[in-house]
């Protein structure tokens, strides 16, 4: 694995994403989700909301990094809150 | 309701998943790893956190090429989509002229990118190229190698020449798919040709147009070869688009860290735009199904 140039933070990042996907799969098998409409303009499934949440979190981080001088951990906290509320009410 | 759940078919997707993992997922993960390190050689890599991302977003060279890229893709779409629709509307519908125009339109699509670049590189030269010679001959000072406006004009003209046919062919097939009953109804109502276009043809073209816009956006957003051959990104940096900046950074200067950070940002932009298009397409289909079920 040396050629992949792993670092601890990226390993944590990818294992978090990986375990979220595994957990979503288990959740889906145990109780399949029904497409519904929340505050987003389109009706979404659980997986759609996860994708939207992760993609927008990436842009929240980029925006914080590029256009503000705020601490990046604030962006992470904001993203987690955003992701949870999107999953619940999106 | 007793629906049988059988998900075994998913196992058949496994080989594709392995291939994609090998060719896309694992390399992408490696790029993410590169983007947080300062790498000198295989044994000397230092963790720098998100420094490269910060740097990449504050360097004017990259901001400029990103802005240039959006302007280029936007202009390409604004010219090619209306032009493609016009060409499709004017094409003959039957007889040997229809076949002939289909073949003529398909020809530019068959030419490889670097050949297109070479054709225009010579065609637009002011000393030996017909186009450059004629433009200079009618009294307009034109030289794409040292005037950035001329360079932009040439690059855009080349793209319009190469890809308008794609939109035209898509629209042509979309127009042929409209049932004759619509036109008959329009004739009974004595609808003007503008009304026919606005209320019958354009709505019916919606599906093919979305696909055409998506294809043209993605193709023009990743354009590399044609401007590289035609202008080499010059004069100065005026026609250096994103992929060329990226290649210079990664292979020319071997700045793997910043190049990786930049390609992640590039990837996220492409992912966002493609997702927006995809969602629009699928939701249009869903709305149509709903409408039909209401009828």
In tens digits, chain B (295 residues) has pLDDT values of 566 667 788 888 999 999 998 999 999 999 999 888 888 877 777 888 888 888 888 888 888 888 899 999 999 999 999 999 999 999 988 889 999 999 999 999 999 988 999 999 999 988 888 998 999 889 888 888 888 888 999 999 999 999 999 999 999 999 999 999 999 999 999 989 899 998 889 888 988 888 898 889 888 988 888 888 888 877 878 888 888 888 888 888 788 888 899 889 989 988 898 888 878 877 776 766 665 655 5
**Domain identity same for B277 and B236:** no
**Domain identity same for B99 and B235:** yes
The answer to whether residue B64 sits within a structural domain is: no
**Domain identity same for B38 and B97:** no
**Domain identity same for B91 and B131:** yes
Q: Report the distance separating Cα B281 and Cα B210, nearest Å.
A: 7
Identify the band that residue A82 occupies on the pLDDT scale cut at 50, 70 and 90: very high
**Domain identity same for B169 and B239:** yes
The answer to whether residue B20 sits within a structural domain is: no
Residue B43 lies in domain: 28-58+254-284
The answer to whether residue B214 sits within a structural domain is: yes
CATH number, domain containing residue B139 = 1.10.3720.10
Predicted local confidence at residue A57, as pLDDT? 94
Question: What distance in Å separates residue A85's CA from the closest CA in chain B?
Answer: 20
**Domain count of the fold of chain B:** 2
Predicted local confidence at residue B4, as pLDDT? 66
The answer to whether residue B21 sits within a structural domain is: no
B32 touches chain A (CB under 8 A): yes
Q: Report the distance separating Cα B105 and Cα B85, nearest Å.
A: 13
Inter-chain touch B33–A5, beta carbons under 8 Å: yes
Predicted local confidence at residue B1, as pLDDT? 54
B-chain residues near A65 (CB < 8 A):
50, 53-54, 57
What does the CA dihedral B127, B133, B139, B144 come to, rounded to 10 degrees? -70
Residue A40 dihedral angles phi and psi, to the nearest 5°: -70, 150
ipTM: 0.90
Mutation pick from A4, A9, A12, A41 vs chain B, by most beta carbons of B within 10 Å, is A4
**Domain identity same for B105 and B225:** yes
Q: Report the distance separating Cα B205 and Cα B168, nearest Å.
A: 11
Closest Cβ–Cβ partner in A4, A10, A55 for B275:
A55
CA angle B48, B52, B58 (to 5 degrees): 140
**Domain identity same for B140 and B213:** yes
Q: Which two tokens stand for residue B148?
A: 């950035």
Report which of A38, A66, A65 is spatially closest to residue A52, judged by C-alpha positions: A38
The answer to whether residue B149 sits within a structural domain is: yes
Helix, strand, coil percent content, chain A, rounded in steps of 5: 75, 0, 25
Inter-chain touch A65–B279, beta carbons under 8 Å: no
Asked if B273 and B254 count as a contact pair (C-beta separation under 8 A), the reply is no
Question: What distance in Å separates residue A81's CA from the closest CA in chain B?
Answer: 21
Inter-chain touch B33–A65, beta carbons under 8 Å: no
The answer to whether residue B2 sits within a structural domain is: no
Inter-chain touch A59–B268, beta carbons under 8 Å: yes
**Domain identity same for B130 and B188:** yes
Handedness of CA B163, B167, B170, B171 (dihedral sign): negative
Report which of A67, A59, A32 is spatially closest to residue A47, judged by C-alpha positions: A32
The answer to whether residue B295 sits within a structural domain is: no
The answer to whether residue B249 sits within a structural domain is: no
**Domain identity same for B103 and B220:** yes
Inter-chain touch B53–A66, beta carbons under 8 Å: yes
**Domain identity same for B143 and B180:** yes
A58 touches chain B (CB under 8 A): yes
Question: What distance in Å separates residue A16's CA from the closest CA in chain B?
Answer: 13
**Domain identity same for B100 and B136:** yes
Give B 252-281 residues with CB within 8 A of chain A. 265, 268, 271-272, 275, 279
**Domain identity same for B100 and B227:** yes
């Amino acid at each position: 694995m040396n050629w992949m140039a792993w670092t601890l933070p990226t390993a944590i990042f990818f294992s978090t994403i990986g375990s979220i996907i595994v957990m979503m799969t288990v959740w889906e098998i145990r109780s399949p989700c029904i497409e519904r409409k929340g505050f987003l303009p389109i009706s979404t499934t659980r997986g759609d909301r996860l994708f939207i949440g992760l993609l927008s979190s990436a842009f929240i981080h980029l925006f914080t990094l590029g256009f503000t001088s705020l601490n990046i951990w604030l962006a992470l906290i904001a993203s987690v809150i955003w992701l949870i509320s999107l999953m619940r009410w999106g | 309701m007793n629906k049988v759940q059988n998900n075994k078919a998913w196992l058949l997707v496994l080989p594709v998943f392995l291939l994609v993992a090998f060719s896309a997922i694992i390399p992408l993960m490696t790029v993410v790893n590169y983007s947080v390190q300062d790498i000198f050689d295989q044994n000397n890599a230092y963790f720098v956190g998100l420094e490269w991302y910060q740097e990449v977003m504050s360097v004017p060279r990259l901001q400029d090429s990103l802005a240039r890229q959006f302007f280029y893709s936007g202009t390409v779409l604004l010219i090619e989509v209306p032009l493609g629709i016009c060409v499709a509307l004017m094409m003959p519908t039957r007889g040997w002229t229809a076949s002939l125009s289909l073949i003529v339109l398909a020809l530019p699509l068959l030419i490889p990118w670097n050949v297109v670049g070479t054709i225009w590189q010579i065609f637009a030269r002011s000393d030996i190229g017909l186009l450059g010679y004629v433009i200079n001959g009618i009294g307009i000072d034109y030289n794409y190698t040292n005037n950035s406006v001329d360079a932009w004009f040439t690059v855009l003209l080349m793209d319009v020449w190469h890809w308008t046919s794609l939109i035209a062919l898509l629209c042509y097939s979309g127009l042929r798919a409209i049932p004759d009953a619509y036109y008959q109804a329009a004739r009974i109502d004595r609808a003007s040709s503008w009304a026919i276009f606005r209320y019958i043809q354009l709505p019916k073209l919606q599906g093919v147009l979305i696909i055409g816009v998506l294809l043209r956006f993605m193709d023009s957003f990743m354009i590399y070869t044609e401007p590289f051959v035609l202008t080499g990104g010059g004069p100065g940096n005026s026609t250096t688009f994103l992929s060329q900046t990226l290649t210079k950074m990664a292979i020319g200067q071997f700045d793997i860290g910043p190049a990786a950070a930049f390609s992640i940002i590039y990837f996220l932009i492409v992912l966002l735009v493609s997702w927006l298009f995809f969602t629009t397409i699928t939701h249009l289909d869903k709305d149509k199904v709903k409408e039909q079920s209401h009828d």
